[in-house]
């Protein structure tokens, strides 16, 4: 996979958090690529490291966390080599993020149009007032908000509308990559669908790629093209979404899919026994082996390496 | 059917606004009964603002209705004697959504288990108390030695929520009101906790009211379902019928909006953009693709197109109207074997 | 414990200063003749010397004896008034916050109205109207009559934040009554806050008592710190150059207040997790 066919490339990224009892690896040796116009999902439960991953791509890890190793390429540019204000300019313009709970982080005393205008101005746009107003109007239209929303304050909008306003801010500089971290977790199912539809539509209009971080597998199944599964900081499997659902390679993926309640038929309640490990008390060998029904002696001793299966899939399991 | 707990034409509204002028109606003329003889699992499904949480709190006696009455064994909750109240508390218990807030951070987690044993005099000695508690913890898949003696922040959310299920188990209530018991728990653990709830029903005959916004888990856990929209019931009945063949346009919208874990991408549903909330008439009319002029004039009653279904929509107006006393029979359990033990 | 004190510097300093005071009082009680704290015991207006380490005052009191005898008296007023104030205030606060409604409105209104009245003025009026001279305990009760107002308000706010917590609802489902919930669930969570409020209340009470005494409204025969300052001011000790007379009580008062202040700050840190330095 060379640079020309990928818009984002993450290679062996490691993020550690310093802790008085010892450093903890929140993201451990993660590698994946994002193709142009692709929808890539990053799924995992709480503590899997997926949100940290998203922040690390944008170099937004704050102390006591730090990027310990690895590299992120945006097309041909290696992000670790950029100076501070170069990476600042890249955020929103090159890679945009809709962070978790962003609808609650909108400035409550600033109108929507000014929040968008601030984002534009902050990145050195020298548009006249009329041009800014036009841009705001077209952005709102793109995300399906009525033009009156421009003059409103965040508390005057509903949850779904606020989230769409956040998407509007995220796309105002036409980024190549949009990272959406749990964009719909606080929203009703009906509104969720509207917001995801909006996200999909603006992505296509911008010819951008999307990384959707979340834990709702149904959402992933209906939205993404390829899915990565994170567990205890590692990317244990990546594959096209069809294959993840029908033929998962990693036992965790398989058990996760099996545990999901379906609307087709009533079944037994099958969960994954045990608990996700604390990152500072990881078991030896494969982090999943204590909960894995197929664990062998090798799994207890040796951490499985990430192996490729064709051009599109990887899995980190001795038995895959 | 004799009702253990019953809501009779209950309305709950809250005053709001600057001078307390605006009233928000959280629940409107709601009638519902939990059968004393035949325990069942009923799911109450709705989005935020539908009134489902208010319903839970009314049933538990944590708030009083603005209109109508909440009855326990035929007596109004507000008029129960101290002994009657204690009986009520023994019979009706809850599992809440937030596995952290329900623990007093000052005490070890043992406190949530020892307090009810003490208050309801479930054990006659410390040894017996310990035995009961350990038994309850094991029944939900926890190891007592890993749990007892710890503080809440030392355990995971899933463990804390399972302790709450163990607490309900200890009390052997007749009804458990479970308000979003798994929404703050990881996906891999949800099935385990819901399985425990189902087991409580099957093995101990406890009626469960499972309140959630997640239709998929509701379908898996419950036998009957109530779909709520903006303080009223829009559809009710057997869960298989309602989920597979929904009749109310809101239910159809809800089910169609759920993203399925499937290789089939059918995640699109016909919908109208709602504008202004209807003041009179059907509350869903402004968003309903099948809205007719009469929908804005008066709210539709609950029609009963089949013995075990009801929906409040004029599209069904050729069916008989559900009489207030019959709400219970729509949701009554059929005499048939449990479906959930069959592996799909 | 010691390692915690090293991190929570305020608490350590506070305990240290108050500890010095306690040692002073205890050792002094055994070694110094406190009868010399009464007038006409020793030669008057002696500057500090080996016989009289802190000097003597105009009425023939040994100032060292005065300090040893007077410090506990001053602290006694503070503790009685402080404890009474917070005790009553906490009781009212919990009741108002937990039960809400009319009870809350009544208690809150009384506290609010009370807080607008200048406290010192009320104390002065009460002290002046009581015929005969006051004892230390009477003064404590007078101060306590106003000391409960502020704690009621602040503790009430804290309880309001706890009232909606899940564990309170679970407690109700356990069939626990109001008082059971207040004492079993709410008070334990507020212990650090109550301790901090208590110390602050004691400080305020001591300040109020010293204030009253300096104005001449205190127990005239007691050799405590406030009265000593009254005599200092009555006899124009500063102008007359009898520096040892006002230095001694001033130093002790400063130590008392600094100690209480640092103790409050230290307890605040325990009570407010956000102020806690990371473990």
| pLDDT tens per residue across span A285-294 | 899 999 999 8
Contact status, residue C11 vs residue C266, Cβ threshold 8 Å: yes
The rounded mean pLDDT for chain C is 85
**Which residues of B fall within a CB distance of 8 Å from C192?**
none
pLDDT at A159 over 60: yes
pLDDT, position C279? 32
- C-alpha triplet B171, B174, B177: angle, nearest 5°: 85
Smallest Cβ–Cβ distance between B262 and the set A219, A245, A272 belongs to: A245
User: B–C: how many Cβ contacts below 8 A?
Assistant: 49
Structure tokens at A248: 């998962």
Rounded to a whole number of angstroms, the distance from the CA of B6 to the nearest CA of chain A is 29
Closest by alpha carbon to B100, among B156, B167, B138, B56? B156
Q: What is the DSSP string of C63-124?
A: HHHHHHHHHHHHHHHHHHHHHHHHHHHHHHHHHHHHH-HHHHHHHHHHHHHHHHS-HHHHHH
CB atoms within 10 A of CB C125: 11
Residue contact A269–B262, C-beta within 8 A: no
Range of weakest confidence among A97-101, A286-290, B276-280, C206-210:
B276-280
Q: Scanning the structure block, which residue is given the tokens 């009580």?
A: C249
In the sheet that A65-74 helps form, which strands lie side by side, from edge to edge? A24-34, A8-17, A65-74, A77-78
Q: How far apart are CA B225 and CA B41, in angstroms?
A: 9
pLDDT, position B277? 57
Report H helices in A75-184: 84-93, 112-122, 129-142, 159-171
Smallest Cβ–Cβ distance between C189 and the set B106, B116, B120 belongs to: B106
**Which residues of C fall within a CB distance of 8 Å from B95?**
none
Q: Give ipTM to 2 decimals.
A: 0.84
The rounded mean pLDDT for chain B is 86
**Which residues of B fall within a CB distance of 8 Å from C174?**
89, 115-116, 119-120
Residue contact C169–B96, C-beta within 8 A: yes
Q: Which chains touch A (3 or more CB pairs under 8 A)?
A: B
pLDDT at A200 over 50: yes
- How many CA atoms within 13 Å lie on the side-chain side of A253? 29
Task: Name the closest residue on chain B to residue C177, using Cα atoms.
Answer: B82
pLDDT, position C142? 82
Range of weakest confidence among A220-224, B102-106, C33-37, C93-97:
C33-37
Report H helices in A123-188: 129-142, 159-171
Smallest Cβ–Cβ distance between B260 and the set A196, A221, A246 belongs to: A221
pLDDT, position B177? 95
Q: How far apart are CA A306 and CA A320, in angstroms?
A: 10
Rounded to a whole number of angstroms, the distance from the CA of A230 to the nearest CA of chain B is 13
pLDDT digit string (tens) for B268-306? 766 666 655 556 788 888 888 888 888 888 888 888 888
Residue contact C174–B119, C-beta within 8 A: yes
Residue contact B89–C171, C-beta within 8 A: no
Closest by alpha carbon to C21, among C272, C225, C185? C225
pLDDT digit string (tens) for B222-246? 999 999 998 899 999 999 999 999 9
pLDDT digit string (tens) for C159-181? 998 888 889 999 999 989 889 99
Interface test with A, best of B187, B238, B284 (most A CBs within 10 A): B187
Q: How far apart are CA A271 and CA A274, in angstroms?
A: 9
Q: Which residues contact C220 (CB under 8 A, 6 or more apart)?
A: C133, C227
pLDDT, position A89? 85
Residue contact B103–C189, C-beta within 8 A: no
- Residue A252 pLDDT grade (very low, low, confident, very high; cuts 50, 70, 90): very high
Smallest Cβ–Cβ distance between B119 and the set C167, C169, C175 belongs to: C175
**Which residues of B fall within a CB distance of 8 Å from C189?**
104-106
Contact status, residue B45 vs residue B52, Cβ threshold 8 Å: yes
- Residue A228 pLDDT grade (very low, low, confident, very high; cuts 50, 70, 90): very high
CB atoms within 10 A of CB B226: 27
Residue A313: strand pairing partners: A309
Mean pLDDT of A295-314: 90
Residue contact A218–B217, C-beta within 8 A: no
Task: Name the closest residue on chain A to residue B242, using Cα atoms.
Answer: A263
Q: Is the peptide bond before A127 cis (omega within 30 degrees of 0)?
A: no
High-pLDDT (> 70) share of chain A, %: 99
Task: Name the closest residue on chain B to residue A256, using Cα atoms.
Answer: B188
Helix (H, G, I), strand (E, B) or coil at B32: strand
pLDDT digit string (tens) for B128-174? 999 999 999 998 888 999 899 988 888 888 899 999 999 988 988 99
- CB-based contact, C174 to chain B, within 8 Å: yes
Smallest Cβ–Cβ distance between C188 and the set B86, B106, B116 belongs to: B106
pLDDT at C275 over 70: no
Interface test with B, best of A41, A260, A273 (most B CBs within 10 A): A260
Mean pLDDT of A104-117: 89
pLDDT digit string (tens) for C243-262? 888 888 889 999 999 999 89
Q: How far apart are CA B144 and CA B138, in angstroms?
A: 7
Smallest Cβ–Cβ distance between B60 and the set C165, C173, C176 belongs to: C173
pLDDT, position A1? 45
Q: How far apart are CA C13 and CA B339, in angstroms?
A: 69
Helix (H, G, I), strand (E, B) or coil at A19: coil
Mean pLDDT of B173-187: 90
Residue contact B343–A262, C-beta within 8 A: no
- CB-based contact, C170 to chain B, within 8 Å: yes
- Residue B21 pLDDT grade (very low, low, confident, very high; cuts 50, 70, 90): low
Smallest Cβ–Cβ distance between C173 and the set B94, B101, B107 belongs to: B94
**Which residues of B fall within a CB distance of 8 Å from C165?**
101, 104
Domain C10-24+47-275: CATH class, spelled out? mainly alpha
pLDDT, position B274? 61
**Which residues of C fall within a CB distance of 8 Å from B101?**
165-167
Contact status, residue B191 vs residue B105, Cβ threshold 8 Å: no
Q: How far apart are CA B101 and CA B104, in angstroms?
A: 7
- Residue B23 pLDDT grade (very low, low, confident, very high; cuts 50, 70, 90): confident
Mean pLDDT of B67-82: 91
Residue B179: strand pairing partners: B211
Interface test with A, best of B261, B265, B342 (most A CBs within 10 A): B261
Rounded to a whole number of angstroms, the distance from the CA of B170 to the nearest CA of chain C is 12
- How many CA atoms within 13 Å lie on the side-chain side of C165? 22
- Residue A320 pLDDT grade (very low, low, confident, very high; cuts 50, 70, 90): confident
Range of weakest confidence among A238-242, A288-292, B16-20, B339-343:
B339-343
Residue contact C166–B96, C-beta within 8 A: yes
pLDDT, position B8? 87
Smallest Cβ–Cβ distance between B98 and the set C166, C174, C191 belongs to: C166
pLDDT, position B1? 62
Residue B237: strand pairing partners: B225, B309
Interface test with B, best of A263, A273, A274, A279 (most B CBs within 10 A): A263
- CB-based contact, C107 to chain B, within 8 Å: no
pLDDT, position C131? 63
Task: Name the closest residue on chain C to residue B63, using Cα atoms.
Answer: C169
- CB-based contact, C189 to chain B, within 8 Å: yes
In the sheet that B224-229 helps form, which strands lie side by side, from edge to edge? B92-95, B175-179, B207-212, B41-46, B224-229, B232-238, B309-311, B303-306
pLDDT, position C106? 94
**Which residues of B fall within a CB distance of 8 Å from C172?**
62
Mean pLDDT of B320-344: 60
- Residue A280 pLDDT grade (very low, low, confident, very high; cuts 50, 70, 90): confident
**Which residues of A fall within a CB distance of 8 Å from B157?**
46
Task: Name the closest residue on chain B to residue C190, using Cα atoms.
Answer: B106
- CB-based contact, B104 to chain C, within 8 Å: yes
User: A–B: how many Cβ contacts below 8 A?
Assistant: 130
pLDDT digit string (tens) for A12-48? 999 998 877 778 889 999 999 999 999 999 999 888 8
- Residue A85 pLDDT grade (very low, low, confident, very high; cuts 50, 70, 90): confident
Task: Name the closest residue on chain C to residue B101, using Cα atoms.
Answer: C166
Q: Scanning the structure block, which residue is given the tokens 């040692």?
A: C23
Mean pLDDT of A240-263: 91
pLDDT at C125 over 70: yes
- Predicted TM-score (pTM) of the model is 0.82
Q: Measure CA of the first residue to CA of the last residue in chain A; give whole Å.
A: 22
Q: CA of C238: how far to CAs of C59, C241, C242, C246, in Å? A: 16, 5, 6, 8
Chain A residues whose C-beta is within 8 A of a chain B C-beta are 45-46, 188-190, 192-193, 196-197, 215-219, 221-223, 241-242, 245-246, 255-257, 259-273, 275-276
pLDDT, position C132? 63
- Residue B337 pLDDT grade (very low, low, confident, very high; cuts 50, 70, 90): very low
Q: How far apart are CA B59 and CA B5, in angstroms?
A: 7
Interface test with C, best of B15, B77, B112, B115 (most C CBs within 10 A): B115
Residues 27-86 of C with CB under 8 A from B: none
The dihedrals phi and psi of C88, each to the nearest 5 degrees, come to -65, -45
pLDDT at B335 over 60: no
Mean pLDDT of C78-106: 91
**CATH architecture for segment(s) A3-224:** 3-Layer(aba) Sandwich (3.40)
Q: Which chains touch C (3 or more CB pairs under 8 A)?
A: B
CB atoms within 10 A of CB B134: 18
- Residue A90 pLDDT grade (very low, low, confident, very high; cuts 50, 70, 90): confident
Helix (H, G, I), strand (E, B) or coil at A179: strand
DSSP C185: I
Mean pLDDT of C53-68: 85
**Which residues of B fall within a CB distance of 8 Å from C188?**
104, 106-107
């Amino acid at each position: 996979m060379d640079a020309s066919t990928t818009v984002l490339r993450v290679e062996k990224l490691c993020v550690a958090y310093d802790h008085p009892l010892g450093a903890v690896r929140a993201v451990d040796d993660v590698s994946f690529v994002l193709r142009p116009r692709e929808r890539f999902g990053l799924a995992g439960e709480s503590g899997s490291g997926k949100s940290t991953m998203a922040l690390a791509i944008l170099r937004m890890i704050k102390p006591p966390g730090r990027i310990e190793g690895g590299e992120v390429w945006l097309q041909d540019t290696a992000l670790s080599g950029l100076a501070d204000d170069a990476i600042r300019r890249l955020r929103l313009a090159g890679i945009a993020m809709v962070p978790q709970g962003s609808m609650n982080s909108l400035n409550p005393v600033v109108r929507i149009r000014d929040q968008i205008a601030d984002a534009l101005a902050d990145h050195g746009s020298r548009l006249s007032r009329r041009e800014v107003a036009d841009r705001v109007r077209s952005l709102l239209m793109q995300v399906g908000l009525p033009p009156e929303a421009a003059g409103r304050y965040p508390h005057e909008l509903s949850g779904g509308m606020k989230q769409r306003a956040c998407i509007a801010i995220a796309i105002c500089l036409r980024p190549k990559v949009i990272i959406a971290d749990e964009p719909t977790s606080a929203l009703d199912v009906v509104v969720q669908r509207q917001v995801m539809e909006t996200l999909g539509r603006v992505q296509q209009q911008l010819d951008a790629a999307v990384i959707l971080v979340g834990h709702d597998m149904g959402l992933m199944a209906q939205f993404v093209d390829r899915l990565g599964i994170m567990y205890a900081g590692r990317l244990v499997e990546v594959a096209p979404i069809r294959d993840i659902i029908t033929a998962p390679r990693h036992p965790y993926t398989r058990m996760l899919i099996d545990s999901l309640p379906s609307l087709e038929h009533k079944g037994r309640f099958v969960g994954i026994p045990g608990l996700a490990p604390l990152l500072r008390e990881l078991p030896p060998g494969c982090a999943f082996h204590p909960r894995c029904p197929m664990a062998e002696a090798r799994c207890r001793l040796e951490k499985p390496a990430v192996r490729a299966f064709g051009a599109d899939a990887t899995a980190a399991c001795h038995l895959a | 059917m004799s009702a253990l707990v019953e809501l009779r034409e209950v309305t709950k509204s809250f005053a709001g606004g600057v001078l307390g002028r605006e009233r928000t109606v959280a629940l409107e003329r709601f009638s519902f009964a939990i059968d004393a003889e035949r325990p069942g699992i009923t799911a109450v499904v709705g989005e935020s603002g539908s009134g489902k949480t208010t319903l839970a709190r009314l049933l538990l006696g944590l708030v009083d209705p603005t209109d109508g009455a909440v009855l326990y064994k035929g007596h109004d909750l507000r008029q129960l004697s101290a002994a009657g109240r204690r009986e009520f508390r023994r019979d009706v218990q809850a599992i809440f959504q937030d596995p952290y807030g329900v623990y007093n951070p000052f005490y070890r987690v043992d406190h949530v288990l020892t307090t009810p044993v003490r208050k309801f005099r479930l054990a006659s000695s410390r040894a017996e108390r310990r035995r009961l508690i350990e038994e309850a913890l094991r029944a939900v898949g926890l190891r007592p030695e890993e749990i007892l003696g710890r503080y809440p922040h030392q355990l995971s959310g899933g463990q804390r929520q399972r302790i709450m299920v163990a607490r309900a188990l200890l009390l052997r209530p007749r009804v458990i009101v479970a308000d979003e018991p798994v929404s703050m728990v990881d996906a891999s653990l949800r099935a385990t906790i819901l399985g425990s709830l189902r087991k409580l029903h099957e093995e101990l005959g406890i009626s469960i009211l499972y309140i959630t916004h997640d239709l998929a888990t509701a379908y898996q856990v419950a036998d009957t379902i109530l779909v709520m929209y903006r303080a009223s019931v829009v559809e009710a009945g057997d869960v298989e019928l309602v989920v597979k063949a929904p009749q109310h346009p809101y239910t159809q919208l809800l089910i169609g909006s759920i993203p399925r874990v499937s290789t089939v991408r059918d995640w699109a549903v016909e919908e109208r953009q709602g504008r202004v909330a209807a003041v009179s008439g059907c509350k869903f009319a402004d968003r309903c693709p099948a809205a007719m002029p009469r929908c804005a004039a008066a709210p539709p009653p609950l029609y009963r197109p089949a013995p075990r279904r009801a929906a409040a929509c004029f599209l069904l107006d050729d069916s008989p109207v559900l009489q207030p006393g019959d709400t219970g029979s729509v949701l009554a359990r059929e005499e048939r074997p449990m479906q959930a033990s069959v592996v799909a | 414990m010691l390692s915690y004190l090293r991190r929570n510097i305020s608490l350590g300093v506070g305990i240290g200063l108050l500890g010095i005071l306690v040692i002073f009082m205890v050792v002094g009680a055994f070694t110094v003749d406190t009868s010399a704290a009464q007038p006409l015991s020793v030669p008057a207006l002696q500057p500090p010397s080996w016989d009289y380490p802190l000097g003597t005052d105009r009425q023939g009191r040994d100032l060292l004896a005065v300090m040893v005898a007077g410090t506990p008296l001053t602290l006694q007023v503070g503790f009685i008034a402080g404890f009474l104030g917070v005790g009553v205030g906490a009781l009212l606060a919990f009741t108002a916050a937990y039960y809400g409604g009319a009870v809350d409105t009544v208690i809150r209104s009384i506290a609010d109205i009370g807080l607008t009245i200048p406290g010192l003025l009320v104390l002065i009026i009460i002290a002046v109207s009581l015929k005969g001279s006051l004892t230390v305990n009477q003064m404590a009760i007078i101060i306590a009559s106003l000391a409960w107002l502020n704690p009621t308000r602040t503790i009430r706010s804290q309880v309001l934040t706890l009232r909606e917590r899940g564990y309170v609802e679970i407690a109700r489902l356990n069939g626990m009554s109001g008082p059971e919930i207040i004492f079993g669930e709410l008070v334990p969570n507020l212990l650090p806050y109550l301790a901090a409020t208590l110390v602050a209340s004691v400080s305020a009470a001591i300040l109020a008592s010293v204030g009253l005494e300096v104005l001449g409204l205190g127990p005239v025969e007691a050799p405590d710190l406030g009265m000593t300052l009254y005599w200092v001011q009555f006899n124009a000790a500063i102008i007359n150059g009898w520096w040892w007379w006002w230095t001694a009580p001033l130093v002790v008062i400063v130590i008392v207040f600094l100690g209480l202040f640092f103790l409050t700050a230290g307890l605040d840190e325990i009570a407010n997790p956000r102020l806690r330095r990371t473990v």
